[in-house]
Structure 1
Amino acid sequence: MFEVIFGPMELPLSPPLSPMLAKAVKAMPQGDLYYEPKFDGFRCIVFRDGDEVELSSRGEKPLTRYFPELVETVKRELPERCVIDGEIIIRKDNRLDFDSLSQRIHPAASRVKLLSEQIPAGFMAFDVLALGDEDLTGLPFSERRARLAGALKDSGPPIHLTPITTSYEKALRWFEEFEGAGLDGVIAKPADVLYAPDKRLMFKVKHERTADVVVAGFRWHKSGPIVGSLLLGLWHDQGLQHVGVAASFPMARRAELVEELEPYRMTEIAEHPWAGWAEQGDGDRMPGAVSRWTGKKDLSWVPLRPELVCEVAYEHMEGMRFRHTARFRRWRTDRTPESCGYDQLEVPVAFDLDEILGT
């Protein structure tokens, strides 16, 4: 899906470049730190050299062709020659919408053009790596942040400068309040940290909740006949909805799961709740459908009688599905599958995205 092609540029730093990363922590850290909201989008380093613009993903792949409107925004709103780290975002109904963002990764240029007009993307800037001929990666973050604010002082939407605070108490409030606008946590950055590509020198605090879900199938692991992931469902008025997967298991546990799931395997998929599931207009996919992210990857699955219930940890919902891979906690033999519905899920209080962005 991605073509790894970057054009030549005369900048202190050139694409591809891995962004600096954050390691997950359970509680909000304290100290000489800067706190920022964690925006739910595509991590992106913007390279601009005059009329030449490249958008580079976290995995060092070009995103440029998928966001033509953002290229024009960069030319209009960012400094003539710069390298800026941030997040590509899409807002819908006054909150961030990752599902609309993921639809932008499409092989057809006509589709990309249409979506760029219907759901244009914005860019949330949170670090600057170069300005003009100056490489800023050797400066502490406190200085880079000041340089970034100065560089963007005349920029306007859809380019945004991320909010920031040094107040631990305010960071805690952000963590609780901002989720209702589609943000998924808080990033804490040491004031003196230098920019180190691909190093986890920052901290991220994300929400974690639990839910009881139906295990309705599984996929084999790529390495052989052991369980790769469990396919999870929740009941609602239209039947059993596929909500995501749980996939993080030790190898020995994956082998044990084969035996545990064996009594529930179905030979006739026609009797399974997902047997007639086809591509739907709201973006939901049947568990075996090809994803735009995985291309030709084998996503075939083994149907199970929807009788097993397990507890999983998840961060937040994106529409009807878990936004990220859920984490298996334990079997719930005390719960019936029919009792596993959406009504058990915690819904964050709505928050005005404009208030966060200062617009």
Structure 2
Amino acid sequence: MQLPVMPPVKPMLAKTHAGVPRDPGLLFEPKWDGFRCIVFRDGDTVELGSRNDRPLTRYFPELVDLLKEALPERCVVDGEIVIVTGQGLDFDTLQNRLHPAESRVRKLAKETPASFVAFDLLALGDEDVTGKPFRERRALLESMLDASELQRVHLTPLTDDPDVAQDWFTRFEGAGFDGVMAKSADLSYQQDKRVMLKIKHE
């Protein structure tokens, strides 16, 4: 694997904020309750890296082929692994996927398949895009992610309207969502720094 951004990557982090902020220039996303995951794809090689450098690839083999279909040949994408049920997101079932036995991993991959939600882009082709503002990274992510035919690879919703963000915050509570994320449209990708805002349900 040879990418302009190589593992391990420390994901960009957030600090807690009370209430949905209304500062100009902020963009909002739902806060997903899952495993933070950096996807590295170089041709046929796909690696799923976790927030704490623990490789997740072996635990979610069903995502590898899906991500090969959804992503361009060479890229690095930040997102969240989740398990979606009829009642919302199920974090307990997701935790149960981290099983040491390979036979059990394969069984659970079929019984409780995971989904991937993309929300940021770190590299595309030979270019490291972490220095670009978030609005540009998001536009690139939208243009390259082929999620139309793939029910378990998603692009996270995004809005610049704090009223919509407040509606998400209220409406998604109890469905496995943690709250809302806010980040500046001008924000570069800063590894391991708390430069985003998270508005969490109490």
Q: Distance in 2 between matches of 1:116 and 1:165?
A: 33
> What's the % identity of the aligned pairs?
60
Tell me what 2:119 maps to.
126
Deviation of residue 180 (structure 1)?
3.5
Deviation of residue 94 (structure 1)?
4.1
> Contact 1:85–1:129 (CA<8 Å) still a contact in 2?
yes
Q: Distance in 2 between matches of 1:183 and 1:141?
A: 22
Q: Which amino acid aligns with 1:140?
A: P
Q: Distance in 2 between matches of 1:14 and 1:71?
A: 18
Q: Distance in 2 between matches of 1:56 and 1:154?
A: 21
Q: Which amino acid aligns with 1:54?
A: E
Tell me what 1:10 maps to.
2
Cα distance, 1:63–1:180 mapped onto 2, change above 3 Å:
same
- The match for 1:172 among 122, 143, 166 is 166
CA displacement, residues 130-170 of structure 1 (integer Å, 9 cap, x when unaligned):
11101110100011111100011455321100000000111
Deviation of residue 29 (structure 1)?
1.5
RMSD: 1.0
CA displacement, residues 325-353 of structure 1 (integer Å, 9 cap, x when unaligned):
xxxxxxxxxxxxxxxxxxxxxxxxxxxxx
- The match for 1:183 among 149, 160, 177 is 177
Q: How does 1:1-359 map to 2 (within 5 A)?
A: 9-31=1-23, 32-153=25-146, 155=148, 156-208=150-202
SS of the counterpart of 1:150?
A: helix
SS of the counterpart of 1:180?
A: coil
Aligned length: 200
Tell me what 1:218 maps to.
none
Q: Which amino acid aligns with 1:201?
A: V
Q: Distance in 2 between matches of 1:120 and 1:153?
A: 19
Deviation of residue 93 (structure 1)?
2.0
Cα distance, 1:13–1:34 mapped onto 2, change above 3 Å:
same
Q: Distance in 2 between matches of 1:136 and 1:57?
A: 20
- Structure 1, unpaired ranges of 5+: 1-8, 209-359
CA displacement, residues 85-106 of structure 1 (integer Å, 9 cap, x when unaligned):
0000101224110011000101
Deviation of residue 78 (structure 1)?
1.2
Q: Which amino acid aligns with 2:152?
A: P
Q: Distance in 2 between matches of 1:113 and 1:29?
A: 43
- Structure 2, unpaired ranges of 5+: none
Q: Distance in 1 between matches of 2:168 and 2:29?
A: 9
Report 1 or 2 for greater relative contact order, CA contacts < 8 Å, sequence distance ≥ 6: 2
Q: Which amino acid aligns with 1:104?
A: R
Q: Which amino acid aligns with 1:68?
A: P
Q: Distance in 2 between matches of 1:13 and 1:173?
A: 36
Deviation of residue 114 (structure 1)?
0.2
Output the TM-score relative to the length of structure 1: 0.55
SS of the counterpart of 1:179?
A: coil
Deviation of residue 30 (structure 1)?
1.9
CA displacement, residues 177-231 of structure 1 (integer Å, 9 cap, x when unaligned):
01232211000011101001000000000011xxxxxxxxxxxxxxxxxxxxxxx
Q: Distance in 1 between matches of 2:61 and 2:157?
A: 26
Q: Distance in 2 between matches of 1:27 and 1:180?
A: 18
> Contact 2:30–2:168 (CA<8 Å) still a contact in 1?
yes
Q: Which amino acid aligns with 1:14?
A: M
User: Once superposed, which parts of structure 1, at least 4 consecutive aligned residues long, lie more than 3 Å away?
Assistant: none
Q: Distance in 2 between matches of 1:166 and 1:66?
A: 35
SS of the counterpart of 2:63?
A: helix
CA displacement, residues 20-58 of structure 1 (integer Å, 9 cap, x when unaligned):
001011121222100000010000000000000100001
Q: Which amino acid aligns with 1:40?
A: D
